[in-house]
Amino acid sequence: MHIPDGFLSPPVWAALDVVSVPAVGFMARRAQRTAADRAPLLGVMGAFVFAAQMINFPVGLGTSGHLVGGALLACTLGPAAASMVMTAILVVQALVFQDGGVLALGANVLNMALIGVMAGYLPYRYWANTPLRRAGVFLGGFLSVLVGASLAMAQLAASGVSFTGPVLAVSAGLFVVTAVLEGLITLAVFEAVERLNPGWVNTPAGAGSRATGLLAAAAVLLAAVGVLVASGSPDGLENLAEQSGIASRAVTLFTTPLTDYEWKAAGGEWLSKAGAGLAGLAVIYVLCSMMGRLIGRPRNS
């Protein structure tokens, strides 16, 4: 789902950067007005989604997928705060881990943090107080991935990338499978949180709630241990790039000690991956918590 630098033409990535900046600003203002009571949860939810994104699972044909988390954030935090948390995750992934392009950051933010989050929220919003509530959560997870993937493919096409019929059909099928799994995981986590703390989603408890503690522990476990079982196969977008012959276009503008989610100074493979994951977890938690405090400040009258 993360578009690297080199895949999009300059006019496309530049235009999407220009569009995304004011859109994120608008969502920040919306979050400031509506998400003050959810501010303490941003750090934990951001850390959990970041950790879950590190764990790829096989979806077939040598391809893997991972939780994107836009719908889960939207259903628990509201769409505006969810957009801010997802934007923070994407920025850290691009600048610290080189996961997703820096120049293409506007495209990734638009696909996953803005339109993807809204696509994940709307089914839940309209069915939240009906017998279709669970279906709304699942459909939100499903749509958040499918819409984001469709946007990414459209942006590649606008950049002059051509897809053959078979490649397009296989990629679309893999994206659908990934979207189904996203919906199932989103629903499972959402319901687990509500069972632990009934009403937590609508009126979230503070940092000491059982649900918050469990999510924090799960994030640490995923970052430290989950990397041992994560699939090493390319994800849907990487597979599409390989099949369409554009994988070689990917460029990295700079490197950091945590590039590719590996802290090589830590030593062995597990220490390298776990160290990078835990470091990223800490960065995301601090960044989203600081953002939460800012969002939670009372507005001047």
CATH number of the domain residue 243 falls in: 1.10.1760.20
In tens digits, the chain (301 residues) has pLDDT values of 799 999 999 999 999 999 999 999 999 988 876 555 666 688 899 999 999 999 999 988 889 999 999 999 999 888 999 999 999 999 999 999 999 999 999 999 999 999 999 999 999 999 988 999 999 999 999 999 999 999 999 999 999 998 888 888 998 999 999 999 999 999 999 998 888 777 666 555 454 577 788 889 999 999 999 988 888 888 888 888 888 888 899 999 999 999 999 998 877 888 999 999 999 999 999 999 888 777 766 555 4
Residue 240 confidence (pLDDT): 87
Q: What per-residue string of b and e applies to 223-261 under the rule 16 or more CB within 10 Å gives b?
A: bbebbeebbebbbbbbbbbebbebbeeeeeeeeeebbeb
Q: Are 258 and 96 in contact (CB under 8 A)?
A: yes
Whether residue 103 is contained in a domain is answered as: yes
Whether residue 301 is contained in a domain is answered as: no
Residue 235, beta-bridge partner list: 64
Report the candidate in 132, 189, 167 with the shortest Cα–Cα distance to residue 237: 167
Report the candidate in 25, 1, 3 with the shortest Cα–Cα distance to residue 12: 3
At 235, is the secondary structure helix, strand, or coil?
Answer: strand
Largest CA distance in the chain: 58
Angstrom distance (rounded) from CA 71 to CA 146:
12
Query: What is this structure's pTM?
Result: 0.94
Whether residue 31 is contained in a domain is answered as: yes
Angstrom distance (rounded) from CA 53 to CA 148:
15
Whether residue 4 is contained in a domain is answered as: no
Whether residue 35 is contained in a domain is answered as: yes
Whether residue 253 is contained in a domain is answered as: yes
Number of domains in the chain: 1
Domain limits at 92? Answer: 10-296
Report the candidate in 238, 233, 281 with the shortest Cα–Cα distance to residue 261: 281
Whether residue 119 is contained in a domain is answered as: yes
Whether residue 2 is contained in a domain is answered as: no
Q: What per-residue string of b and e applies to 267-283 under the rule 16 or more CB within 10 Å gives b?
A: eeeeebbbbbbbbbbeb
